[in-house]
Amino acid sequence: MVAAAADRGYEVTAAVAERACGLNEKRRGLRRLFRMAADGEIDVVLIEFKDRLARFGFAYVVEALQAHGVRVEVLDGPVAVDATQELVADMLAIVTCFAARLYGSRSQQFRRKVQEAAKEAEGLAG
């Protein structure tokens, strides 16, 4: 991405990367992007694929950024897919996102129980 920005003559002021589901409304990276746009710190957002910015509602995100004078550029361009392929990709994205939430919450519960057990063990040993 840095090389693509340099090829276009852009100065990279920030690189925002996150590991989050496109359906997640609490994405730190996206919030940071909106703050930077509102503060006038950026004028172009360069992304590799449009679904990396937002899986659904991409046009709304672009419009919100444009309201602050920020242009969004997508490197890959439009990919020609038929309606069935697009629907399958969207369904897989939804299932993947919700499965990650489910297993993530289970993992948090397990870590919490391990920490509680460790504290109890320290209390018994001490």
Query: What are the tens digits of pLDDT across the range 3-30?
Result: 888 889 998 988 888 776 655 667 888 8
**Greater pLDDT, 107 or 42:** 42
**Is 39 in a helix, a strand, or coil?**
coil
How far CA 31 is from CA of 40, 84, 103, 119, in Å, comes to: 14, 32, 24, 36
Question: Domain spans of the chain?
Answer: 1-78, 80-126
| Nearest alpha carbon to residue 51 among 10, 92, 98 | 92
**Is 81 in a helix, a strand, or coil?**
coil
Percentage with pLDDT > 70 across the chain? 89
**Greater pLDDT, 101 or 82:** 82
Mean pLDDT across 35-51: 91
Mean pLDDT across 93-102: 75
**Is 72 in a helix, a strand, or coil?**
strand
pLDDT of residue 40: 94
Element housing 37 (H / E): helix 28-38
Banded model confidence at residue 77, pLDDT cuts 50, 70, 90:
low
Mean pLDDT across 95-113: 76
| Nearest alpha carbon to residue 51 among 90, 83, 82 | 90
The domain covering 1-78 belongs, at the CATH homologous superfamily level, to Resolvase, N-terminal catalytic domain (3.40.50.1390)
User: pTM for this structure?
Assistant: 0.60
